[in-house]
Structure 1
Amino acid sequence: MFEWEKKTFDYVNNSLIYQKLKIYVELININNDNFNLTGFDEKTIWRDGIYQSIVLLDKFINFKSQKIKLLDIGSGVGFPSIPFFIFANNKIELTIYEPIKKRIIFLNLVKDKLNLKNIKIVNKRIEDEENFSEKFDCITARAVMPLNMLIEVSSKCGNLGCKYVFLKSKNIYQELKESDWIINRLSIKDIKITKVDLDDKKEHNVCTYTKMVETPKQFPRKWAEIKRNNKIR
């Protein structure tokens, strides 16, 4: 058993949950060649994918007192939401928005192989969705886009009181400075950056805030305009 696999086993403290996580890792490894899913090897998947996802979200999302509706934006192979969903053991309703088709195929494979219920997987950019607003209790994302863009594209998705939990690296403070405009336009008042030590020699920052007012109708803008204004190449 790898070091971070053992840490995960100890943290979840449940053999059935651990076995599901192990199958999930095996599915990533088996399908990586076909789908080009991730550059992680098996050791890194346990450390940077499974353990980090579970521990970081568990510190900031309270799923034990009531069932919550969680949205994961651009999850790739399923980080951070799939490991956390398995860990929460059916106490979460999960929706994933992922624009890349091959990743959608893989996520549906994971859903079927692990017989995961209460998961909806959507092949679309979140800002292109017109059929919902003010819906989710909690929204998360990891390594999907800069903070200013992430705040905007996720703005309409949460209900009032929705908690946003974004996993970020050491660049978070620069990203936060570049987010002043959208933070002010959306009347976000309580953004917090929390550094979490996972004993892996990496810097882990979790950006959190709560939605207190309804999103103005003009947000989010079209993706092309967001990219152009944020100078994304």
Structure 2
Amino acid sequence: MDNTAAQFTALLEDKGIILTPEQLTQFELYFKELVVWNEKMNLTGITARDQVYTKHFYDSLSLAFYLNMGEVNKLADIGSGAGFPGLPLKICFPHLKLTIVDSLSKRITFLEHVCDSLKLDGVQLIHGRAEDVARQFVHRDAYDLVTARAVARLSLLNEFCLPFARKDGIFAAMKGNDPSEELAEAERSFKELRAELQKVESFSLPVEESARHIVIIRKTGATPAKYPRKAGLPAKAPLI
């Protein structure tokens, strides 16, 4: 085990996540496929191995520092891009039934390849817009935990993501800088979409010490029938 893998393993162990050799192998294969596929499509601007492990893998797993993943059965990752945070969480918590929604078909093709290469079962990959997918009965008000990482401002993100969460389920928005301004802006969307802010967790990434915040929101009731609005409309007229 080299320094990057050893540091990654130790940092997670400090948070109570113990990686098996197989899981560590899966992370390394994920990294290699990410770099190879990134040469033919724009998946990430981060390709240095130590930074991928910190800024993508560790950052994705930070959700498990503040939420009990053992209590989560169904997880939806909206706008997952290259698979973050959904696939790192699935690697560490194999029991999760993971659904990833992304609007770009070539990213879904990449994720299909990664899931096959890593032999990940129980992953559903959906090419589509969140506004459309959330209107399908099987996905609406259905997930224990919904997450999105660096996708959009909270007032817009709430309409994309909260319709997927079940009543009393959690939507966790993974942010960089202090989200106080976004939270104030999103007050109307909380009311409209039947949700309430539970807490905001903050921490710094190891080594580089860049700020991270996780906004934890509880769904208080079923999504009203008019939400989410037709694809494209939430972005043009967010609930502010």
Counterpart amino acid of residue 6 in structure 1:
A
Counterpart amino acid of residue 110 in structure 1:
V
Contact preservation (8 Å) 1:155, 1:219:
no
- Encode CA deviations 1:55-88: one digit per residue, 9 max, x unaligned: x111133232x45100000111011110111011
1:1-233 equivalences in 2 (<5 Å): 4-10=4-10, 11=12, 12-41=18-47, 42-54=49-61, 56-64=62-70, 66=71, 68-88=73-93, 90-129=94-133, 130-132=135-137, 133-199=140-206, 200-230=208-238
Contact preservation (8 Å) 1:60, 1:165:
no
Provide structure 2 residue ranges, at least 5 long, that are not aligned to the other structure: 13-17
> How many residues matched?
228
CA RMSD of aligned residues (A): 1.8
Deviation at 1:123, TM superposition (A): 0.3
Provide structure 1 residue ranges, at least 5 long, that are not aligned to the other structure: none
- Once the two structures are overlaid, the 10-residue window that deviates more, 69-78 or 209-218, is 209-218
Q: Tell me the secondary structure at the aligned position of residue 235 of structure 2.
A: helix
Q: Tell me the secondary structure at the aligned position of residue 222 of structure 1.
A: coil
d(CA) in 2 for partners of 1:192, 1:4: 32
Q: Tell me the secondary structure at the aligned position of residue 5 of structure 1.
A: helix
Could you state the TM-score of these two structures normalised by the residue count of structure 2?
0.89
- Encode CA deviations 1:85-142: one digit per residue, 9 max, x unaligned: 1011x21000000111111110000011111100000000111123221111100110
Counterpart amino acid of residue 76 in structure 1:
G
Q: Tell me the secondary structure at the aligned position of residue 173 of structure 2.
A: strand
d(CA) in 1 for partners of 2:102, 2:194: 27
d(CA) in 2 for partners of 1:99, 1:4: 32
Change (3 A) 1:150 1:220: same
Contact preservation (8 Å) 1:137, 1:159:
yes
Counterpart amino acid of residue 51 in structure 2:
T
Aligned-residue identity in percent: 27
Contact preservation (8 Å) 1:168, 1:207:
yes
